[in-house]
């Protein structure tokens, strides 16, 4: 195998790893976001966990996070504005990425 082939394989492996980490971070962010929203809705225990899982599933509908924002905006109504949801989404993504990095270290 040539050096070029080895570099290409290493690049492909890194790309796949990075994509997997981003997917895990987004899923974790969505679960945390779902638990936050469940709390605002007064859900606890298994009901809160089921709601959080519905947020994780909602993110699989579109390539962006707009499907999650749309669902939460509809579900939360006046309990949280779209701006608050978007801010929480960004805040939790940073936290989820840090959590994932700490787990893999």
CATH, residue 65: 1.10.790.20
Average confidence (pLDDT) per 10 residues, the chain, 105 residues: 83 89 94 97 97 92 87 96 97 95 81
Alpha-carbon distance of 76 to 89, in angstroms, equals: 14
Number of domains in the chain: 1
Residue 38 is predicted with a pLDDT of 98
Nearest to 65 by CA among 89, 48, 97, 35: 89
The pLDDT score that the predictor gives to residue 7 is 85
- The answer to whether the predicted template modeling score (pTM) of the entire model surpasses 0.75 is yes
User: How many of the other CB atoms lie within 10 Å of CB of 89?
Assistant: 19
The CA-atom distances, in angstroms, between 52 and each of 38, 44, 46, 73, 99 are: 7, 11, 10, 14, 18
Q: Which domain holds residue 65?
A: 3-104
């Amino acid at each position: 195998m040539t050096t070029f082939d080895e570099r290409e394989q290493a690049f492909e492996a890194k790309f796949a790893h990075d994509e997997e980490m981003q997917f895990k971070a987004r899923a974790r962010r969505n679960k945390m976001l779902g638990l936050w929203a469940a709390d605002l809705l007064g859900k606890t225990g298994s009901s809160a966990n089921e709601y959080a899982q519905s947020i994780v599933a909602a993110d699989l509908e579109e390539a962006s996070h707009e499907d999650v924002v749309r669902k939460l905006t509809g579900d939360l109504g006046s309990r949280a504005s779209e701006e608050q949801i978007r801010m929480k989404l960004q805040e939790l993504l940073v936290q989820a990425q840090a959590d994932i990095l700490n787990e893999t270290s």
